């Protein structure tokens, strides 16, 4: 990394910043009083980067690295291959009104779709978007393709009711657990064949979304969309690690 800091050290510092839910400057100040933690990273108090260096280093962390970290952190929980998917929103309004007007910062919410393991409640994958256009079903298909080898079933609510999604999941070897909206009598028959116990586990996504927001915050600190996407991904990594440590 720049300034002689290893990439793994910078990623660790950013994860600690998210865990502490503080600014860059406050994170460095707190870590100066935590020699055991900085020692695990391979640094000491005198070697810690400045807050501006840590901020600029965030731009060099690619989203692919964040996804690898997310996958590795999910493996700490021994996933059951039964997943559930749902979307939630994170605030982008932490900036002042004057700042938002000056840079035409109009989008106030970030749409985040998470794939969650229903047994361990680990986050397997995440997708972020700054707009609400497009179908949730198409997005679910994209996420399922990325995790096809790790899923045997996928549960979702009626917002993901789309026949093409069900067919794509079956082609990938994934059993769709998505209720049909009632348009005809045979839709009742389709719903009756769904495994109710597995389908009801889709509520685990709401539990995970609530836990992440309560423990790590409901708003992102970054100002640009690509930094916000990385922050959300690292937030999911921190959540997985915290849950693994508690267990």
Structure confidence by residue, pLDDT tens digits, 10-69: 999 999 999 998 989 999 999 999 999 999 998 888 889 999 989 888 988 999 999 999
Are the CB atoms for 4 and 30 separated by under 8 Å?
no
The whole-number pLDDT of residue 1 equals 46
The pTM score is 0.87
* Domain parsing of the chain, residue ranges: 7-60, 63-246
Going by pLDDT thresholds of 50, 70 and 90, the confidence category of residue 100 is: low
166-169 long-range CB contacts below 8 Å, 24 or more apart? 168/141, 168/144, 169/141, 169/144
pLDDT at 191: 67
SS3 state at 104? coil
| 155: CB partners within 8 A, 6+ apart | 82, 83, 84, 85, 118, 177, 178, 198, 199, 201, 202
Domain topology for 63-246 = Nucleotidyltransferase; domain 5 (3.30.420)
Q: Which of 120, 96, 199 is nearest to 153 (CA)?
A: 199
User: Of the ranges 99-103, 155-159, 191-195, which one carries the lowest mean pLDDT score?
Assistant: 99-103
């Amino acid at each position: 990394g720049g300034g002689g800091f290893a990439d793994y050290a910078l990623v660790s510092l950013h994860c600690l910043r998210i865990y502490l839910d503080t600014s860059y400057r406050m994170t460095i100040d707190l870590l100066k009083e935590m020699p055991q933690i900085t020692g695990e990273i391979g640094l000491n108090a005198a070697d810690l980067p400045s807050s501006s260096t840590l901020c600029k280093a965030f731009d060099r962390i690619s989203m692919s690295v964040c996804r690898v970290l997310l996958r590795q952190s999910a493996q700490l929980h021994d996933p059951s291959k039964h997943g559930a998917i749902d979307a939630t929103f994170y605030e982008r309004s932490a900036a002042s009104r004057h700042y938002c007007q000056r840079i035409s910062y109009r989008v106030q919410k970030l749409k985040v779709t998470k794939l969650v393991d229903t047994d361990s409640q680990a986050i397997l994958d995440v997708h972020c978007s700054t707009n609400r256009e497009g179908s949730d079903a198409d997005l679910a298909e994209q996420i399922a393709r990325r995790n096809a080898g790790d899923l045997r079933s996928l549960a979702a609510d009626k917002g993901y009711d789309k026949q093409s999604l069900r067919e794509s999941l079956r082609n990938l070897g994934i059993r769709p657990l998505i209720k049909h909206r009632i348009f005809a009598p045979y839709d009742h028959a389709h719903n009756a064949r769904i495994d109710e116990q597995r389908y009801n586990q889709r509520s685990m996504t709401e539990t995970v979304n609530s836990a992440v927001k309560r423990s790590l915050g409901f708003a992102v600190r970054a100002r640009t969309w690509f930094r916000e996407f990385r922050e959300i991904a690292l937030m999911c990594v921190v959540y997985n690690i915290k849950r693994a440590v508690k267990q």
